[in-house]
């Protein structure tokens, strides 16, 4: 008689990479040596916003934590002063 061999998943295998190249993104503000992010610089701020008006996360934009906090503050100031829209429908 032949016995059926059950295949069990190997739990010791590492998960495969999700396709990321492993390349570290560089903060644009650190590369340009900018200390202050101006809320009146609309072109630069729009680059870090989605088409619906949401702010891009630091994981996607590559900003460091310090400049991401300053960027969010500048975008919120520009929105409050009606330089940038809150949402685009």
Q: Hey, what CATH class is 28-80 in? A: few secondary structures
Q: For 21-67, what is each residue's pLDDT tens digit?
A: 667 788 999 999 988 999 999 999 999 999 999 999 999 999 999 99
Whether residue 13 is predicted with pLDDT greater than 70 in this model: the reply is: no
Q: What is the pLDDT of residue 31?
A: 92
pLDDT higher at 13 or 68: 68
pLDDT higher at 2 or 65: 65
For 53, residues 6+ apart whose C-beta sits below 8 A from its C-beta are 84, 85, 86, 87, 88
Q: Where are the domains of the chain?
A: 28-80
Q: What is the pLDDT of residue 23?
A: 72
pTM: 0.72
- Distance (Å, rounded) from C-alpha 61 to C-alpha 49? 10
Residues in the chain: 89
């Amino acid at each position: 008689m032949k016995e059926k061999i059950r295949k069990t998943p190997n739990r010791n295998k590492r998960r495969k990479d999700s396709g990321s190249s492993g390349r570290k993104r560089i903060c644009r503000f650190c590369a340009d040596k900018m200390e202050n992010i101006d809320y009146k610089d609309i072109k630069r701020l729009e680059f870090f916003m989605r088409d619906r008006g949401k702010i891009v996360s630091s994981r996607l934009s590559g900003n460091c934590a310090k400049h991401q906090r300053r960027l969010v503050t500048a975008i919120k100031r520009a929105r409050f002063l009606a330089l940038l829209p809150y949402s685009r429908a």
